[in-house]
C-alpha cells in the first residue's frame, strides 16, 4: 500500500474569514511552520502543522503574520 504524501485540512483565514482547504506536504515532517499568503486577501498567515489524532491526519492552525 502506498503512503499518501499530502493531506488536506479545512482552515479559515484569520484576516478575511474565508474558508478554504489547505494541502500540506507530509514530506516536510510531522511538525511544520511556514508563511503562506491567503488566496483571497493575499495577507501573510503563519501556518502551523502538527500530527492529527489518526495516522496520516494533520492538525493545521493559522495565525496572522504581521
pLDDT tens string 13-64: 999 999 999 999 888 888 999 999 999 999 999 999 998 888 778 899 999 9
Tell if the pTM clears 0.95, that is, is over it.
no
What is the Cα–Cα distance from 46 to 31, expressed in whole angstroms? 13
- Whether residue 11 lies inside any domain: the answer is yes
d(CA 48, CA 31): 8
15: domain range? 6-64
* 1, part of any domain: no
Distances (CA, A) of 55 to 19, 41, 65: 24, 33, 29
- Its sign, for the CA torsion 37, 42, 46, 49, is negative
Query: Is residue 58 in a domain?
Result: yes
In a domain? residue 40? yes
Q: Is 32 within a domain?
A: yes
Q: How many structural domains does the chain have?
A: 1
Amino acid at each position: 500500500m502506498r503512503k499518501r504524501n499530502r493531506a488536506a485540512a479545512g482552515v479559515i483565514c484569520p484576516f478575511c474569514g474565508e474558508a478554504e482547504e489547505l494541502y500540506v506536504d507530509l514530506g516536510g515532517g510531522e511538525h511544520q511552520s511556514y508563511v503562506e499568503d491567503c488566496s483571497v486577501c493575499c495577507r501573510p498567515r503563519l501556518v502551523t502543522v502538527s500530527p492529527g489524532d489518526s495516522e496520516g491526519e494533520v492538525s493545521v492552525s493559522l495565525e496572522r503574520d504581521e
